[in-house]
Structure 1
Amino acid sequence: MSFDDYHLYRTSYRADDNRPGVPANIFNDWPVVYVITNDEDIYIGETIHVGTRLEQHRNTNIKLQDMEQVRVIANDAFNKSACLHLESWLIQAASGDGTRQVKNTVTAMKESSYYQRELYARGFPGVYRQLKDEGVFTKELEDVLNSEFYKFSPFKALQKDQADTVRAILTRIFAIDFATQRASNSPATTIVISGEPGTGKTIVAIYLLKALRDIAAWEDEFIHDDDPFADFYTPKNKAIASKLVSCLLMPQSALRTTLAKVFKHTPGMENIEIRSPLKVGRETDDASLIGEHNAFDGQTGKSPLKQYDILVVDEAHRLRQRSNYGSMNGEVKKVLASLGEDPETSTITELDWVQRRSSLAILLLDPQQAVRVSDLPDDVVANTIAQAKREGLFFSLAQQVRVKAVAAGPLATAHNPHQLQTQDQPGQYGASVEHLPSYSEYVRAIFSLNDDPAPTAYTNYELAIVDDLADMLSLIKDRNDTFDLARIVAGYAWPWERNKVKARKRRKKDPNYVMPDYDWKIDGIPLRWNSTIEDWMGSDNAINEVGSIHTVQGYDLNYAGVIIGPDITYDPVRETVAFGGREHFADTGATRGTKNNPATDEDIFNAVLNAYYVLATRGIRGTFFYVCDDALREHLKKFFPVLASPADNRIVESDPKQTTSSRPGNTVDFAPQSKPALFDFGVEALPAKR
């Protein structure tokens, strides 16, 4: 019996009795995964009785009436759990490949941990490549898994906390009388979903919108009992979902562009709007989209403004308070006037806009990812969360689905020789693993004004401080050649000298002005900020540029090389991180503050700390740090391994068994990266490029 010995059988979707090429025992009584296709569409399922299931599809699923080919995937060692795993994996791969439109409902995605899962998963890439050889897929698997279509696809098998959250919200949605809500003209009911970086907040938002579209499009076709959301497919819910006017609101323009492409690529989501806060606030009604759902301009009684039943707000911590919008101040005043506010004195926030433009507002947020002073005030966020908790409308996501780092034990270093102190029975490395911080918790504590965390070692993850910037640039390019999506990112400690708007202004003053080839230098190395805001991650020259916080927030990387600028230092007297001063902070948009309350140094420093927290939690496989400030670099060496052999440009994962006092300091050696280590990443597996 071989776990990775998969067999592929072919037959016609139209055949009734005799199915050549498919053994009778597999066709009638064996757990399998099946793939149904025509030139444009694909449907993937699993069953024990494939013959019976195909007959159900032909008789009840009108979406599959034009299908032509069936491919049955079998394995002598298959069981139900392995089939569910492969089914989900292939659905996600098909969505990322994009050769055909995926006809599955998003709620059919399901899988779980099971015995010998990693052994079965080893064979999944081979199944994909077999199907690619037959023309079912066209892209290489590594390109699929690194694509934005895969990463932001709604076709995900949700973690338990994600699934529980979606179920509770769907239950709430189908209990609301939206007609009464609209007529009342009262502020929206507000649901809050909170989670640290990498807990899948964006996926929950996308999944929820797709689930509503799937329920609305349901035509009484067969929904299998093991679909975890099968009970929502009812005529009553279909009628409600069909009338809902929903929108995804995304404060960051980069993510709006990316998600618009994903939605256009995903059946049923093509017409879901993705809006900025300003556009939601000011746009007039399009009757073809929302029918009679209007909120009328309170100033003129004319020009109906769009009213949504549901506004899903991702990265809601990036909504703004009343502040200087620069060139958009005039538009903001129009929005305020339409809401019955005094455009000159009103202090309502973009959160108020959302709540007045919708019946149900669903906010996905992490207060510690607010990276501008003009983002929502802490007290507004805290009050919103508190109210949601009182009303039973607060949900927390805790399962990490991005960063693969696993806390394994104490990190003993030359800078910090003490071991973790716990009251629990010491584990293999001297501490209870259950009480070690997650990687994101660890980074949050380091980049904060709170007490330092105990130095912790992490496995399944490449993590190091690099003393020489040239070495880190080389290291990231090496990882990009091997895995793709490795990028250099930095705090906003240097001005954007290559800004085209600034260049035009300078040429007016000096006709001989020539835009420089770089934005700043470190140790004589010229560096350039990202040349585009939208879709920078996948742009051709991204590997030669540096991404800012406003370009990378909300995205995943395989590896991140984080440049920590002089905007953050270390105070050895107070024994804490400290603000490097406004002269080292170049994000002018982050310093505008509110209209009558200019930003303080404390405000700016909190935004700086949050920005580095976000940058340090982008990497799936690893994170490297280059630190400009000498004192801060030495301080951080208490908490992270240090690159030992930069000339070799190779590194291994931190191993707590190798970070004891028997090694010099907290250095880590290098090892070749021609092949990735085998971890059970399941559908998140990211193979090395071939």
Structure 2
Amino acid sequence: MSGKVATPIIREIKDNRDELKTLEDELLSTADAKTQDIIMNYPTVYIHNWKNTDDFEVYVGESNNIFRRTREHYDESTNKTAWQYKLLEKDASLFIIGHEHFNKSLTLDIENRLMHYMMSIDRVKEVHNDRGNPQSKYYTSDEFEEIFRKVWRGLRKRNKDLFPTESAIKDSAIYKASPLHKLTPEQERARDQIIAKVASAINKGKTKQLIFIEGEAGTGKTVLNSSTFYELYCRAEEHKVKINCHLLVNHDEQITVYEQIADKLGLTKEYGKIVSKPTTFINNHSESDPVDVAFIDEAHLLLTQGKQSYRGSNQLKDIIDRARVTVVMFDENQILTTEQYWEAKALEQYRKKAKKNNNYILLDKQLRMHADPATIDWIDSFTKKGELKKIPKSSKYSVKVFDSPKQLDLEIRKKAKDKNSALSRVIATYDWEYSSIHKPEKRLKKYWEVLIDGWHKPWNRELESDLSKKDKKAIKGLSWAEQPQTIGEVGSTFTIQGFDLNYAGVILGPSVKYRNGKIIIDPSCSKNRKAKQNRTLSNGTSKKFGETLIQHEVRVLMTRGVDGLYIYACDKELREALIDASK
């Protein structure tokens, strides 16, 4: 393909009328006929960009007539409320991109991918666009990836600050949660169904409507959530109507990601605080004045018991009471603590209600892991059924077993040095003591650590305290796995849940054992008090759910790797059985 696809034509000019006229005259007088034709008569893609202090703001577009379209933007530059006004204020530049195979559909796809990338770049603080318009099949769609790669490389040659490596972008948490992903047909159908239900509820004045989206880790719930959320705001703006949507998640790092997305798309500036934790939303809204839509990502993290910051007894019910439509993204297999535990009857009540109203959607296609069906089945059998099958050989996905934690750690470090797998980390079941408040006592080391025989490594965000102010500022807003110092520590479910890794190096601690041909869970070896403590049920009885919750913990860890899963087991019998299964 690369031999057949030509190099794109990229021109960069100062972003003003005089420089645009100079480029136009140059193309007409001195450029070769082919270049003149491609820029002046073919569809093109363009990027207006300017610096705001040390960071960038951009506008990405496409046009059948780049000179007319750019002058239209200049005509808008006297409007102080428009992004074009910044072109007068700032030292802006304009990239114009042409290609001999550009047609309308291809330029729309290039525009959408550029917007997606630009929004994921840390130094780009705002993308002044409406939503993208990703295309389906068209004449040159098979050339899109190759042409885009050449476009990006060409832009990167001109400005490495504004155009970082593709691998760095794709590893960012913002990229993975972005509303600008091209959706699968299954996700598109789900989004259309949600939007239709929301429109109906608002038009008919309905309240307390529930849409229940269920899907396991990696089935695209977060992307569907952010895409639908953003699409509703875009459609409201198109029709010049107001809509009041809120996006809720009970996870600190995911909150930061969504806040950054809202900021970069200009939603925060326009609508105020629309991303928050469930408790904050409940405290700031009333049943008498419901919002239009409440989107809940990671709904399995909602509380179903009161605690110090939340005085109610069921966060989902309280949110439903404060919204016309509530859209929940739920995965029962990611419930990790007793305070999040959903009793079967309560959970089924919400499912039944959604199914009865034709508001239940199941996502069952694995989109995260680049694994074949046999490997997915192996992981499912291990994490759900306690069965240890022979590990299948796969060219798509690497499953490796190690007989020492040191070797596993070394292999993950090697992967992390490769720019294509830099997001590789060691993670473990919660089988070692940790406190974010207290320092370890009676220990020579200053860190809480994972200790296995003579091998040890800091555990759960311990290295952040050693960073300089400058380095702490540099990692602000990054997920645990994106922070460079975390290659030197071991993460847990609480640092990695909701995020991806290229390669996941999973240490199965003493709570995961192998006895009589079955994988068993031993809660007595876990240090996760939130999983082990009793749960008071709705009928007043008290019950433990440690085995179920730690089984969920193991599944969360073993489904993080996009390209591979590396395993070390502390339990001797399990380690030997895994090594045997890998032969």
TM over 0.5, yes or no?
A: yes
1:546 paired residue among 481, 490, 510: 490
| Counterpart-to-counterpart distance in 1, 2:361 and 2:74 | 40
1:44 paired residue among 37, 51, 60: 60
Partner residue in 2 for 1:364: 329
Residue 478 (structure 1) shift: 1.1
Residue 358 (structure 1) shift: 2.0
Deviations 1:149-173 (A, max 9, x none): 3233322222222222222212222
Partner residue in 2 for 1:626: 568
2:501 paired residue among 548, 551, 557: 557
TM-score by length of 2: 0.81
Question: Is the 8 Å Cα contact of residues 88 and 111 (structure 1) preserved in structure 2?
Answer: no
Question: Is the 8 Å Cα contact of residues 8 and 72 (structure 1) preserved in structure 2?
Answer: yes
**Structure 2: which amino acid aligns with 1:148?**
A
Task: Work out whether 1:150 is the aligned partner of 2:175.
Answer: yes
Task: Work out whether 1:487 is the aligned partner of 2:454.
Answer: no
Question: Is the 8 Å Cα contact of residues 216 and 364 (structure 2) preserved in structure 1?
Answer: yes
2:232 paired residue among 212, 228, 252: 212
| Counterpart-to-counterpart distance in 2, 1:400 and 1:25 | 44
Q: 1:20 to 1:379 in 2, by over 3 A?
A: farther
1:317 paired residue among 280, 284, 300: 300
Deviations 1:423-442 (A, max 9, x none): xxxxxxxxxxxxx45x5454
Residue 464 (structure 1) shift: 1.0
| Counterpart-to-counterpart distance in 1, 2:64 and 2:378 | 45
Residue 7 (structure 1) shift: 1.4
| Counterpart-to-counterpart distance in 2, 1:37 and 1:540 | 28
Question: Is the 8 Å Cα contact of residues 95 and 155 (structure 1) preserved in structure 2?
Answer: no
| Counterpart-to-counterpart distance in 2, 1:84 and 1:561 | 39
**Structure 1: which amino acid aligns with 2:408?**
M
Residue 176 (structure 1) shift: 2.0
Question: Is the 8 Å Cα contact of residues 450 and 490 (structure 2) preserved in structure 1?
Answer: no
What are the within-5 Å matches in structure 2 for residues 253-332 of structure 1? 253-270=252-269, 271-281=272-282, 283-284=283-284, 294-295=286-287, 307-322=290-305, 325=307, 328=308, 331-332=309-310
DSSP-derived class of the 1:626 partner: strand
Residue 541 (structure 1) shift: 2.4
Deviations 1:587-611 (A, max 9, x none): 10122332344343xx211111211
**Structure 1: which amino acid aligns with 2:258?**
L
2:99 paired residue among 75, 81, 94: 75
1:383 paired residue among 338, 349, 355: 349
Q: 1:4 to 1:193 in 2, by over 3 A?
A: farther
**Structure 2: which amino acid aligns with 1:147?**
S
| Counterpart-to-counterpart distance in 1, 2:345 and 2:388 | 25
Partner residue in 1 for 2:458: 528
| Counterpart-to-counterpart distance in 1, 2:366 and 2:106 | 22
Question: Is the 8 Å Cα contact of residues 99 and 136 (structure 1) preserved in structure 2?
Answer: no
DSSP-derived class of the 1:154 partner: coil
Task: Work out whether 1:88 is the aligned partner of 2:53.
Answer: no
**Structure 2: which amino acid aligns with 1:373?**
T
Residue 17 (structure 1) shift: 11
Partner residue in 1 for 2:31: none
Residue 467 (structure 1) shift: 1.7
DSSP-derived class of the 2:260 partner: helix
Task: Work out whether 1:393 is the aligned partner of 2:364.
Answer: no
Residue 566 (structure 1) shift: 1.5
**Structure 2: which amino acid aligns with 1:524?**
G
Question: Is the 8 Å Cα contact of residues 3 and 75 (structure 1) preserved in structure 2?
Answer: no
TM-score by length of 1: 0.70
| Counterpart-to-counterpart distance in 1, 2:26 and 2:182 | 31
Between structures 1 and 2, the one with greater helix share:
2
| Counterpart-to-counterpart distance in 2, 1:77 and 1:246 | 40
| Counterpart-to-counterpart distance in 1, 2:268 and 2:215 | 25
**Structure 2: which amino acid aligns with 1:99?**
V
Task: Work out whether 1:191 is the aligned partner of 2:203.
Answer: no
Deviations 1:466-485 (A, max 9, x none): 22211111111111111322
| Counterpart-to-counterpart distance in 1, 2:399 and 2:136 | 29
What are the within-5 Å matches in structure 2 for residues 414-425 of structure 1? none
Partner residue in 2 for 1:373: 338
Partner residue in 2 for 1:350: 315
Question: Is the 8 Å Cα contact of residues 321 and 377 (structure 1) preserved in structure 2?
Answer: no
Question: Is the 8 Å Cα contact of residues 31 and 83 (structure 1) preserved in structure 2?
Answer: yes
Structure 1, unaligned runs of 5 or more: 183-187, 219-232, 286-293, 297-305, 337-347, 408-435, 507-511, 642-665, 667-690
**Structure 2: which amino acid aligns with 1:368?**
N
Task: Work out whether 1:171 is the aligned partner of 2:101.
Answer: no
| Counterpart-to-counterpart distance in 2, 1:96 and 1:26 | 29
Q: Structure 1 residues 591-600 or 483-492, which shifts more?
A: 591-600
Residue 212 (structure 1) shift: 2.6
**Structure 1: which amino acid aligns with 2:362?**
S
Question: Is the 8 Å Cα contact of residues 125 and 264 (structure 2) preserved in structure 1?
Answer: no
Partner residue in 2 for 1:246: 245
| Counterpart-to-counterpart distance in 2, 1:193 and 1:56 | 43
| Counterpart-to-counterpart distance in 1, 2:316 and 2:519 | 32
| Counterpart-to-counterpart distance in 2, 1:382 and 1:635 | 37
| Counterpart-to-counterpart distance in 2, 1:449 and 1:399 | 20
Residue 544 (structure 1) shift: 1.1
Deviations 1:648-675 (A, max 9, x none): xxxxxxxxxxxxxxxxxx3xxxxxxxxx
**Structure 1: which amino acid aligns with 2:427?**
V
1:9 paired residue among 8, 11, 16: 11
1:598 paired residue among 518, 527, 542: 542
How big is the alpha-carbon RMSD for the aligned residues of Structure 1 and Structure 2?
3.3
Residue 490 (structure 1) shift: 0.5
Partner residue in 2 for 1:19: 24
Identical positions, percent: 22
Deviations 1:226-284 (A, max 9, x none): xxxxxxx4x3xx31xx1x33222112223223333343333224534332233233x24
Question: Is the 8 Å Cα contact of residues 102 and 267 (structure 1) preserved in structure 2?
Answer: yes
